[in-house]
Amino acid sequence: MSETLFTGISQLVTPRPGPQRGAAMRELNMTEDAALLVKDGMIAWVGPAAQAPTAPETVDLGGRAVVPGLVDPHTHAVWAGDRLADWEAKLSGATYEEILARGGGIRSTMRATAAAGVEELVALARPRLAALRASGATTTEVKSGYGLDFDAELRMLRAVRELQAEFELRPTLLIHVPPTEGRAEYVQGVCADLIPQVAREGLAEAVDVFTEKEAFSVEETRQIFAAARAHGLKVKLHADQFHAIGGTELACEVGALSVDHLEASTEAQIRALAASDTVATILPGVTLHLGLPAAPGRKLIDAGAIVAVGTDLNPGSSPVFSTQMALALAVRLCKLTPAEALTACTVNAAHALGLSDRGSLSAGQRADFLVLHSPDWRDLPYTLGASPVQDVFLAGVQL
Ligand code: NIG
Ligand code: FE
């Protein structure tokens, strides 16, 4: 049994536990000159240092601000190859969708990833995950989706499984881009073979689909969701990235964990999300990198949706290796307040992964927390280009 009292906390800042929607996203609890008691990896007590219980061990954090560990609910951290040539093409005027349609983009990452073995994928993903964690992400979702065939998809998920020994990861099977020929057979195979095998081997917790004009239709997504559900997997979506073709409405109808992207969402999709428990996950790194419109973060919150923020770390649309940076960009590009952005990156992002045991510094939650360099928590949303995070604690243990 281990028991440690952390003191020397200038500000302890946290959302309340559980998902927060609308105006409640701005309601943080702030304790000045605080203490935090951790027992066996869980938070046992939080409050003013003057009222702290005694503990066998005390750690003085030296007058820093403490916030919950961030949860990054959307990454594609496992890939091989690079997209540097695509990026140059894009800078000279080609669009993301044009590059994809001519066999580049996601398809080029698929060719490189399908040629890599599990150990190579592990070695490539490890420093990316380490960067996300150093930036404050104590829990990170990782998707497959660059497998050209089912074996390559399984290799990606096996790589994630190996990395789970080193990182707190939540794996997702992503059905990303249909083959150029035989797409009906492909969807059938996903439902009849791939999803059952992934579920049997416990390789993923959820199934994600890229529902988009250049990818899967709403009808195909519906079939894939039915198979996922039948095998006990949760569902979520990439939707409204370029065109709002109905993915968001489907996700809200079936109670998906989250709908991610939403750059092309209009009032109808915003209303559907606000009326549902499905999380609206926005990915401001994509806006920055592709130079496309931002997701309507402000409107989603004002309408009453549960909004989360993620990096979408991937080589094509968001080479953002910092979850803190995604939080900071959500303030600038999607017009969240700093308080809303913290809630979006903690309890709401946890809810997007179906997790309720983390994201808030409250008794009973996992002791995942960040010690900032600064005594003022606002340096977390404020800082760009250097890390405001000094130390990362996972279940009470400093990494
Ligand atoms: O979330 N939009 C689809 N999928 C990824 C991009 C993947 C890639 O470009 O490699 C995304 O933006
Ligand atoms: Fe993505």
Question: 351 labelled as ligand-binding?
Answer: no
pLDDT digits (tens, 9 = 90+) for 208-236: 999 999 899 999 999 999 999 999 999 99
Tell me the backbone φ, ψ of residue 181, rounded to 5 degrees.
-130, 150
Q: Mean pLDDT across the stretch 74-103?
A: 91
Chain segment 144-155, per-residue pLDDT in tens: 999 989 999 999
CATH architecture of 71-352: Alpha-Beta Barrel (3.20)
Q: What is the pTM of this model?
A: 0.97
Q: How is the chain split among helix, strand and coil, in percent rounded to 5?
A: 40, 25, 35
- Spatial contact of 313 and 320, defined as CB atoms under 8 Å apart: yes
Instruction: Find out whether 296 and 265 touch, Cβ atoms under 8 Å.
Output: yes
The pLDDT value recorded for residue 101 is 83
pLDDT of residue 102: 82
Q: Please classify residue 211 by burial: count the beta carbons closer than 10 Å to its beta carbon, then call 0-12 exposed, 13-18 middle and 19+ buried.
A: buried
Task: Give the residue, by CA position, lying nearest to ligand 1 atom 12.
Answer: 317
Pocket of ligand 1 (CB under 6 A): 76, 105-106, 109, 210, 238, 241, 286, 312, 314-317
Q: What are phi and psi of 363, to 5 degrees?
A: -55, 135
Q: How far is the CA of 316 from the centre of ligand 2 (A)?
A: 10
Candidates 3.40.50.300, 2.30.40.10, 3.30.1240.10, 3.30.2130.10; CATH matching 3-68+358-398: 2.30.40.10
Domain range list for the chain: 3-68+358-398, 71-352
